[in-house]
Amino acid sequence: MQLKDVAVVLLCYADYESLEIALAAHTKFMEPDTKIFLLQNGRGTYDCERTYRVAKRYADLFPRNIVVVDWIEPQKPYLAIKELLNSKIMQPYSYICKVDDDVFPVTEGWLKQLIESYNTSSEKYGDDLAYVTSLVNNNPWGFIKTLEIMDLKEEYLQNVAREHIVGKGELVSKDEIRDGLCGTVWHNPYISRWLHKKTTLNIEEFIDKCKSQSDCLVNHKERYSINCMLFKKELWNAIDIKKFDDEYMCHQYCLNNDKKIVARCNVPMIHLFFYSQREENKDLIPNIRNYYEKFLQLPFPISICPNKEYENENRLRYIEQMSCKNDSPEKFSFIKTIFSIRNSSDKTHKIITILGIKIKIKRIKKVSYKQ
């Protein structure tokens, strides 16, 4: 495999602030011939349309490298990616590097190094290799590895760790760190907040500590949060087991077929938020954006609109424009989003939704009176 054989794919939805930072880093560290496909998998809401504008802006800044895919109908992530990978535009590429839209590299040559690990691992494991990944800090498996590399485990156990919930509700002691489904860092936003201060906002040390690290196997018997994966394109069709969660399907495929996952641990990457962390930690965005403005030293600002007051004005203007469109499908879709009335499943109640708040009202039967 060579660089020309690989397409980088980011599935984008509604987190425009994270996408701006991620694309800034991608464009700083991409090779001249790298192709990045931004698959916009959501339209219509302000956040989705704003994310789409971010994608288009970076495509305008890097027209030779970035392609915005906006002709595939938004759908379940696995299916949207599958449609893209099987499309004509992807025919020149035999390998895919799928990266989450809030995950980004911080070192030169990161993709070439992943390719090198894939080639070496492919020689070693043959068809038993599933994919190669990087060392992602905010990741259940990557968190444990990052603590080890950064010599942070003792500090974590003494000052940060506490009894906590993992998986589907299992209570574990403060001394345990789980790396599987909904693991320790996934379930606890305050831990990822601490981790960002130690790595994301301390990037030179994170990079330096990772330099001497070698490749290692990820435990494929535990579910792995796939923030970055380099794989042969055919894999995406092979993992189709009639479920729509691509992470679950990858895990089941690797588990059932004993497929190997190799991590290139000297390629550090940053993951901003799992959805379980976003609300509590979103206030970190301005600090992270300002930090990476200085670190990346790009000739243009990372964000279209970093001022939150202006952003809120744009959001209100969008609502005004949508509500004033005459007889357009977008208007009725918008109105239905903020206000709707429907019958309950047993038709005994009416359910009124106003700005996401559901009110259940009992239906009143018609009563006839005889004189």
pLDDT digits (tens, 9 = 90+) for 136-163: 999 999 999 999 999 999 999 999 999 9
Contact predicate 145/130, CB 8 Å:
no
Residue 247's pLDDT is what? 83
Residue 138 contacts residue 235 (beta carbons within 8 Å)? no
pLDDT tens profile 246-285 = 888 888 888 888 999 999 999 999 999 999 999 999 999 9
Give the pLDDT of residue 99. 96
Identify the band that residue 364 occupies on the pLDDT scale cut at 50, 70 and 90: low
Residue-wise pLDDT for 27-40, tens only, equals 999 999 999 999 99
pLDDT at 194 over 60: yes
Question: What are the CB-based long-range contacts (under 8 Å, 24+) for 212-217?
Answer: 212/266, 213/135, 213/149, 213/265, 213/266, 214/265, 214/266, 215/117, 215/120, 215/121, 215/262, 215/263, 215/264, 215/265, 216/262, 216/263, 216/265, 217/260, 217/261, 217/262, 217/263
Tell me which of 311 and 301 has the higher pLDDT. 301
The model carries a pTM of 0.84
Domain 3-309 is of which CATH architecture? Alpha-Beta Complex (3.90)
Q: Summarize the confidence of residues 329-355 as an average pLDDT.
A: 63
Residue 291 neighbours by CB under 8 Å, 6+ apart:
200, 201, 203
Average pLDDT, the chain: 88
Residue 366: band (very low, low, confident or very high) from pLDDT cuts 50, 70, 90: low
Is pLDDT of 244 > 90?
no
- ∠ Cα 197 199 205 (to 5°): 120
pLDDT at 205 over 70: yes
Q: Which pLDDT does position 106 carry in this prediction?
A: 97
**What's the sign of the alpha-carbon dihedral 239, 215, 190, 178?**
positive
Domain boundaries, the chain: 3-309, 336-371
User: What span, in angstroms and rounded, lies between the C-alpha atoms of 255 and 126?
Assistant: 17
